[in-house]
């Protein structure tokens, strides 16, 4: 399985969108400054993630979210349902 995920940092009031095979490990790496783009900007919290069968599908969804903008994308979906 592959995942597209959205993280949020209250420190900088920004979202981060990515894709991975292991969301928990990836979040751990973001919060321990192992990612250049999120280094020293955390702590990061997982907002939501989406599951896909293939890496290509996960990356396609990641690009879709980035194009729309995480904030606007999240307003359009129901995270509670």
The full 3-state SS of 53-78, as one line of letters, equals: CCHHHHHHHHHHHHHHCHHHHHHHCC
pTM (whole model) above 0.95: no
Tokens of 81: 């349902």
Quick check: 77 pLDDT over 90?
no
Q: 30-76 pLDDT, tens per residue?
A: 999 999 999 999 999 999 999 999 999 999 999 999 999 999 999 88
Cα 48 to chain centroid, rounded: 7
Quick check: 81 pLDDT over 70?
no
Instruction: Report the candidate in 45, 46, 49, 56 with the shortest Cα–Cα distance to residue 3.
Output: 49
Which structural domains are found in the chain, ordered by start? 2-76 (3.40.1440.10)
Contact 80, 33 (CB under 8 A): no
Q: What is the pLDDT of residue 78?
A: 67
Q: 28-37 pLDDT, tens per residue?
A: 999 999 999 9
Q: What is the pLDDT of residue 46?
A: 98
User: Which SS3 state, helix, strand or coil, does residue 3 take?
Assistant: strand
């Amino acid at each position: 399985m592959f995942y597209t995920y959205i993280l949020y940092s209250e420190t900088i009031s920004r979202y981060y969108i990515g894709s991975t095979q292991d969301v928990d490990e990836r979040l751990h790496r973001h919060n321990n400054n192992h990612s250049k783009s999120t280094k020293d900007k955390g702590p990061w919290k997982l907002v939501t993630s989406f599951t896909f069968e293939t890496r290509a599908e996960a990356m396609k969804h990641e690009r879709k979210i980035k194009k729309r903008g995480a904030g606007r994308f999240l307003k359009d979906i129901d995270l509670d349902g």
